[in-house]
Structures are given as C-alpha cells and as structure tokens.
Amino acid sequence: MKILLTGATGYIAQRLLPVLLQEGHQVICCVRDANRFNATQFPTANLSVVEVDFLAEKTLQNIPDDIDLAYYLIHSMSAQNGKFEEMEATCAINFKKRVQETKAEQVIYLSGIVNDEELSKHLSSRKNVEEILSDASFALTTLKAGIIVGSGSASFEIIRDLVEKLPVMIAPQWLKTKCQPIAIRNVVEFLKGVIHRKETYNQSFDIGGPDILNYKEMLLRFAKIRGLKRRIGIVPVMTPKISSYWLYFVTSTSFALAQNLVNSMKIEVICSPNDLDKTLGIQLIGYDDAIRLAFDKIEQNQVLSSWKDAQTSNLLHKGLTQYMEVPVNGCYVEVRRLSIENEEQVLKNIWKIGGKQGWYYGNWLWEIRGFLDQLAGGVGMRRGRKSDTEIAAGEALDFWRVLIASKEQKRLLLYAEMKLPGEAWLEFKIVKDELVQTATFRPLGLLGRLYWYSVFPFHGFIFGGMIRNIIKYSP
C-alpha cells in the first residue's frame, strides 16, 4: 500500500514510520526540508521523501497522485507567533484540497480528546481541523488522544523534569485535573490498526490507557517508579501566566508551548467509551508500565524521536539549507587547530558533545549562558540531545541545531538557536590529522559587534579548553 505520511519529522510520525515500513508499505514522507530528515536510518526502497510546506499550496503538487492512504499528523502548537489556530486551519485546507485530487481512500488524523464545552485554543484548533477534513471526498478516521507517554514525548519529558528537579513542588490548581494517559506504543498500534478498516471510516474514536489519573497522581507515581520521594502542595493563586512561566523555567518546554499546555491542562481529557481496542486486538498499557517502557528505551539509548527536536526558533520554518553554507564576509571568525593521534576516538568525542557529556570544558559557564538565554525567552540549555552517542542533521543539541553531521566528511556543523544580536555557527572538522574548530559570528548592527567583543575574552579559555579536551578525552 502506498501511504503518505505528513509531519514526518515529528514525534509521532517518527515512531509510526518504521512500523509501516516493517509491514511492507511504501511510505512517502512529507517534510519542509529534506536536509532535516535522516533517511539513512531506514535502508529500504519503500521510503521516499518529498518537500512540502502545507502553508505554501504550490508545494503540495509534490505529493504523488497514486497514494492509497494518508496520515495527517501536523500541528503548530509550539508556534512562536501565537497564530497556530490560523496556521493549522490553512494547513488542513491545503492538505484536503490536494489529497482529494489523489486516489487516497482514507485519511487518518490524530487529534486531541474533546469533552468540555469550554475548549482551550489548542483543543479548539484540533476540533476545527477535524471539521475541515471531515467534509471531503475521502473517508476520515479520527483518533483522539490526551497525554501520550513514551521516551521523548513532551508529556513524559515535562513530568520527568518536574519530578527529577524538584523535591518539593508548589503547584497550580490544574494538577487536580483528570486525564487518561496512553502509552506511545498503543498510539502507534491504533494508528496502524485502523488502516483501511471500513468500520472506522468517517468515525471518531477517543484512545487512552486503562488508568484515569490527575496530574498530581501522575507526578507522584512517576516519582515512586524512579525511587524518589516528592512532596506536592497545590495553591489556588497561580494564574495561567504564572503557571506557564513555572513550566518554562523548570522544564525544557518553550514558553509558547507552556502557555498552550497550561490552557489545555485545565480541562479534563477522559475518553468517551468505545471498543476500538478490542476490535483491533490491542492490549492497553497502564501508566506505570508505560513509564517503565520509556526508561527501558532511554537506558538502551534507543529513543527514536523526541519532541525537543521540533522546539526551535524560526529556523526550521525557513529550512536548514540556507544556513549550511557558513558565511565569510562581515563575520567574526575564530579558528583553532590541534594535531590528533587517535582520529577514531576524537570523532567519537565530537559526536558525544553536549547533553549529558557536556562541552568538555567550563560546563558551568555553558549552563550560565543557557540560563541567561532562557531569561531572554530563548531555548536555553534544557533540550539536551536525543541520543548520547549518535546525532543527525535537524536534531536539537542544547541551544544549537545540528545542520551537518557527517562521519564520512568527519564534520559536525551547529547553528545557534539562542537569542543573539546576530547569527552563530560552531564547526568541528578533522582535516589531515588535525581537529579544526571554527566559531563564526555574523553580527547584527552595533549591538552585535558589542556582543562579540564582550564575550571574546571568554573564548580564549572556553574554546581553547574545549578543543584540547576533545582530543584528550578517553572514556
């Protein structure tokens, strides 16, 4: 079967894709920027990639006409401009128009559970998208989920941040809100299970796990599984804005996403009864087991996708390609070179940089810089990295975005997503038994130049120490 997979670089699609390929389907992945999609991890002729921006209608002509089915896994909840409802509606309209021109019989849409008359902007937008897609020539199957629990999921990582960082929490009232979390493994089983099941055509199903919990219970049960003692006090005085800042500074979420999450968390998301799990033969996984499964993947370094890779500035919307050619004119450039003896080990060290490993020198200074960036509304150092040993173009790496990660070229190129009066690149490359480390900064106006000279004194020991330790480090 020929399947169109939208949102192919997103958390859900990255989990669904290998399952579809294992089933023998031919999958066409829609991405805004092909450079951000790591197709090499799926060595099969059944995978193809097309560049499509659903906000730019003309690009949808790249979608082939002979598809049998399409997944709609697009959302813009973390959009920085606050207009995600308009963006989601435009994407849905453009998608519907193009897919109706193809041979697609069914569209499968993953939405959010809606069971309250007063909806958040996030849930209202999801409902609006469903209404747009339902008025079409193809059959629509809508699956609605609440909190999704899995390694790398937004919900899991936010809960993990709260539990592992805060022995005592003073939390807002929405921690009393009930929800029905579902394991990512079950979500993928539902998404796969409804393929061309005619009894699901033009139907909507809530999907959730067997447990109904409030957010406080979820935090405490997470803590118990991790062997941590935590105390949570709930106060009535936290406004939605204060709650959003609380999430923003304690967890790795962006402020835009924190606002939308808080507005959604005030509303109960409990499944309306249905027998879809029995119809598809799906064994629902409880919350505790979902947490354990997530940590099994983390400990084995097998996290397939992370929501943090989609948390960014406007870089991903513009595309990685235009940033991959590091500018020369009008830039400040600092180049350091050191001879190396063990090329293989140095390359491994480069590939481990950031995240838990840190930056090989002055990690506390990197953390301070990240905190200052967070105060300014930037991403800070909270995103870490998806894998401790492997990295691919398009992934987040602390406050950097990976532009090029080529072991064949022995080159890693990073672009800064922190708040800066200019643009910054950091490159590591092995050339003829030398490690070449290059920092490039293109200033924006006078403020950019003042910024460069203010931080330049720190470069001497931070960048100098970093390149020396990358060469010397041996685990």
pLDDT of residue 201: 96
Strands 106-112 and 69-72: parallel
The token pair that represents 258 in the structure block:
């924190």
CB 432 within 8 A of CB 331: no
CB 103 within 8 A of CB 90: no
CB 291 within 8 A of CB 284: no
How far apart (Å, rounded) are the C-alpha atoms in residues 91 and 64?
A: 18
How far apart (Å, rounded) are the C-alpha atoms in residues 7 and 11?
A: 8
How far apart (Å, rounded) are the C-alpha atoms in residues 6 and 453?
A: 44
pLDDT of residue 194: 95
Residue for token pair 């800042």: 245
Residue type for position 338 = L
Please name which of 35, 134, 150 lies closest in space to residue 92, comparing C-alpha atoms: 134
pLDDT of residue 182: 93
Backbone phi, psi, residue 246, to 5°: -60, -50
Query: To 5 degrees, how large is the angle CA 28–CA 30–CA 33?
Result: 130
Please name which of 248, 244, 267 lies closest in space to residue 146, comparing C-alpha atoms: 267
Query: What is the tens place of the pLDDT at every residue in 259-269?
Result: 666 666 667 88
Please name which of 318, 308, 319 lies closest in space to residue 354, comparing C-alpha atoms: 308
CB 192 within 8 A of CB 207: no
Instruction: Please give the C-alpha separations between residue 224 and each of 160, 173, 416, 435, in angstroms, as whole numbers.
Output: 12, 22, 37, 46
How far apart (Å, rounded) are the C-alpha atoms in residues 20 and 42?
A: 11
Q: Who contacts 401 (Cβ-Cβ below 8 Å, separation ≥6)?
A: 312, 315, 316, 320, 394, 395, 414, 415, 416, 417
**Does pTM surpass 0.95?**
no
Which residues on neighbouring strands pair with residue 168, listed in sequence order?
231
Q: Who contacts 286 (Cβ-Cβ below 8 Å, separation ≥6)?
A: 209, 210, 211
Number of other residues whose CB lies within 10 A of the CB of residue 41: 13
CB 123 within 8 A of CB 114: yes
Alpha helices in 212-324 (DSSP H): 215-225, 240-250, 255-265, 276-280, 287-299, 315-318
pLDDT of residue 74: 86
Q: Which H helix or E strand runs over 18?
A: helix 11-22
Handedness of CA 254, 256, 259, 265 (dihedral sign): negative
Residue type for position 438 = T
Please name which of 298, 412, 432 lies closest in space to residue 353, comparing C-alpha atoms: 412
pLDDT along the chain (475 residues), means of 10: 90 89 92 77 84 90 94 70 75 93 95 72 80 92 90 77 81 81 93 95 94 90 89 74 68 64 72 93 94 75 50 54 78 91 92 89 87 78 78 83 88 89 91 92 88 85 91 83
Residue for token pair 């040993």: 389
How far apart (Å, rounded) are the C-alpha atoms in residues 22 and 123?
A: 32
Q: How far apart are the first and last CA of the chain?
A: 47
